[in-house]
Structure 1
Amino acid sequence: MRQPADALRIGVLNLMHDKLDTRARFLRVLEGQGINVAITFYYPKDHYKGRSVPPEVAKYARPLELAEVKKLDGFIVTGAPLERLSFTEITYSDELHELFSCLEKYQIEQLYVCWGAMAALNYFYGIEKYLLAQKVFGVYPQEILAPSKLLYGLKDGFLAPHARYADIDLAQVSQRRELQISANSSTGHAFLIEAKKAHQTFLFSHLEYGRQALEKEYQREVAAYPDQKAHLARPTYASQVPRFSWGKAQQLFFKNWLTLIATRKKAKNVIKN
């Protein structure tokens, strides 16, 4: 299908284990904001080195090519189930670093989600991650700590889902003048960190998740580790009614992010002309 000439070109590096569900989620949250977007999904080539790309991946995603990436208006690096591994253990870390460098060089608007945010903060600013005593897993209120265009329309205490086994060192973040901690979770974990001058946003919540995503994640873990079922945390919901209590935050955040890209793209075009 031919995209409108004024569509925002968004790339998504899909690193999640449930790739088809993740693709559907990002299509929904990006295409449902009343802003023309053209979305391309990518996979890291090094992840499949020496083996065939799974058909469901090859059908819906393209191999990561920096020559294409540098022409985009915005780029998302998703989360990945890799929090318990060190960054040096990631098989495609070199390819990921080349992507980060390309996005920085061409000043493409960047959104890093969950593990993607941990990896990018470590690469750009040397921020370390650490393992949590127990997985942070559920829907919690968020505390707004600084003004942010991405949180426009949201009030202190808005709800958002978290699902991860690690977090980043917020004390290190606070020492970096280039970074702003825009919001944290009521659990004390990171929610949103922004670079003050670079085009970088680090989101630690899976705001793209739909109504059933947390429960599906729990069931996947139970199936993968049946002997550990008694020790696997179930998602905690701050509000039972409605269950999809982060819907407003999801809608506003992604609309604000796309609006930011559109505004900056327009400004660039004015300068060029």
Structure 2
Amino acid sequence: MIKKIGILNLMHDKIDTQKRFSYVLGQADPELEISYFYPRSHYRFRPLPPNWPAKPLDLDELSGLDGFIITGAPIEQLPFEEVDYWDELTQLFDRLKSLAIPQLYVCWGAMAAMHYFYGIGKHPLKEKLFGIYSQRILAPSPLLAGLANGFRAPHARYAEMNRAEILRNPRLTIHAQTPEGRLCLVSGPGRQSFLFSHLEYGPQAFSKEYQRELAARGGDDTGLAKPQCYFADESAMALPQFTWESTQEHFFKNWLQAVQQFQGGKNYVN
């Protein structure tokens, strides 16, 4: 049976984001059908980016999907309720919860969903978490099948969720984090997965993100975070290394297996 996935694309580099997700998911399942959406409310008074192959979010279409992904967004420092599409996003959260299809929330998408469903707080980091880091597996998860303790994963964010609040909530489980305690993977009931790593990123993504932020500052790199453990030549910021490729392959293959199990009517123990 062909799996059908919906993706709400909230990222700044929208075309690249869709290419990345299409690639990593297509590698795991070449027959996968992916529908990309954007929040209607965000573009009510602004033009859509040119040549963007996405359509407005339609909650009625969700019933025909087998899984759903909400991407990150470059708004970690903005209060959730001040996001101009927050109401629309919460309607999506509610519909996904009622359908109980496999849900993958990525980076800011994970922050927003965890805040909405469980009231977990968010706080800014002293500096951007930006680079490739080893991960400690704290609890087993089907999504981490095939990955060993210390697997590498990319992170790029300015904020973090309150870890103590997560630990106090019996419905949430932290499966993986950096040695310093930065979140990587958390699960909740109802087939909810909260991924705080940008595992969809390809080998050039960090270079592009750094150059985009540098350009936004007019070329001034004062205080600008540089990708850590990413370049083979750190001093020249040259020769990016794709050290999370195996993690990427395993994770998205595992998530699509979870989608397939849902299709087959199998249930997880929550």
Q: CA–CA distance in 1 between the matches of 2:185 and 2:242?
A: 20
2:68 partner letter: F
The answer to whether the Cα contact below 8 Å between 1:70 and 1:103 also exists between their aligned partners in 2 is no
Q: CA–CA distance in 2 between the matches of 1:253 and 1:237?
A: 21
Q: CA–CA distance in 2 between the matches of 1:51 and 1:255?
A: 36
> Which residue of 257, 260, 265 maps to 2:258?
260
Secondary structure at the residue paired with 2:249?
Answer: helix
Give the number of equivalent residue pairs.
Answer: 261
* Aligned residue in 1 for 2:90: 97
Q: CA–CA distance in 1 between the matches of 2:248 and 2:40?
A: 30
1:231 partner letter: G
The answer to whether the Cα contact below 8 Å between 1:137 and 1:163 also exists between their aligned partners in 2 is yes
Does residue 129 in structure 1 map to residue 89 in structure 2? no
The answer to whether the Cα contact below 8 Å between 2:66 and 2:262 also exists between their aligned partners in 1 is no
Q: CA–CA distance in 2 between the matches of 1:44 and 1:65?
A: 9
* Aligned residue in 2 for 1:3: none
Indicate the larger mover: 218-227 or 9-18.
218-227
Secondary structure at the residue paired with 2:64?
Answer: coil
Residues 142-181 of structure 1: pairs in structure 2 closer than 5 A: 142-181=135-174
Q: CA–CA distance in 1 between the matches of 2:181 and 2:230?
A: 15
- Percent sequence identity over aligned pairs: 50
Q: Deviations over 1:69-114 (max 9, x none)?
A: 1221100000000001011110000000000000000111100000
Q: CA–CA distance in 2 between the matches of 1:186 and 1:135?
A: 16
Q: CA–CA distance in 2 between the matches of 1:21 and 1:116?
A: 17
Secondary structure at the residue paired with 1:50?
Answer: coil
Q: CA–CA distance in 1 between the matches of 2:184 and 2:244?
A: 13
Q: CA deviation at 1:19?
A: 0.3
Secondary structure at the residue paired with 1:11?
Answer: strand
Does residue 8 in structure 1 map to residue 6 in structure 2? no
Q: CA–CA distance in 1 between the matches of 2:266 and 2:245?
A: 32
Q: CA–CA distance in 1 between the matches of 2:213 and 2:80?
A: 22
* Aligned residue in 1 for 2:235: none
1:69 partner letter: L
Q: TM-score scaled by structure 1?
A: 0.92
Q: CA–CA distance in 1 between the matches of 2:46 and 2:30?
A: 38
* Change over 3 Å in CA distance of 1:12–1:54 after alignment to 2: same
2:35 partner letter: T
* Aligned residue in 2 for 1:224: 216
Q: CA–CA distance in 2 between the matches of 1:239 and 1:261?
A: 35
Q: TM-score scaled by structure 2?
A: 0.93
* Aligned residue in 2 for 1:248: 246
Could you list the runs of 4 or more consecutive aligned residues of structure 1 that deviate by over 6 angstroms after TM superposition?
none
Q: CA deviation at 1:167?
A: 0.6
In the alignment, structure 1 segments of 5+ residues that lack a partner are 1-5
Q: CA deviation at 1:264?
A: 1.9
Secondary structure at the residue paired with 2:139?
Answer: coil
* Aligned residue in 2 for 1:47: 42
* Aligned residue in 2 for 1:61: 54
Q: CA deviation at 1:230?
A: 1.4
2:34 partner letter: I
Q: CA deviation at 1:239?
A: 7.8
Indicate the larger mover: 226-235 or 69-78.
226-235
Q: Deviations over 1:220-273 (max 9, x none)?
A: 00000126511101100168498100000000000000001101211269xxxx
Q: CA–CA distance in 2 between the matches of 1:247 and 1:143?
A: 17
2:258 partner letter: L
Q: CA–CA distance in 1 between the matches of 2:223 and 2:187?
A: 34
In the alignment, structure 2 segments of 5+ residues that lack a partner are 233-238
Aligned Cα RMSD in Å? 1.6
Secondary structure at the residue paired with 1:254?
Answer: helix
Q: CA–CA distance in 2 between the matches of 1:28 and 1:243?
A: 18
Q: CA deviation at 1:186?
A: 2.4
Indicate the larger mover: 6-15 or 29-38.
29-38
Relative to total residues, which structure has the larger helix share, 1 or 2? 1
* Change over 3 Å in CA distance of 1:35–1:177 after alignment to 2: farther
2:192 partner letter: Q
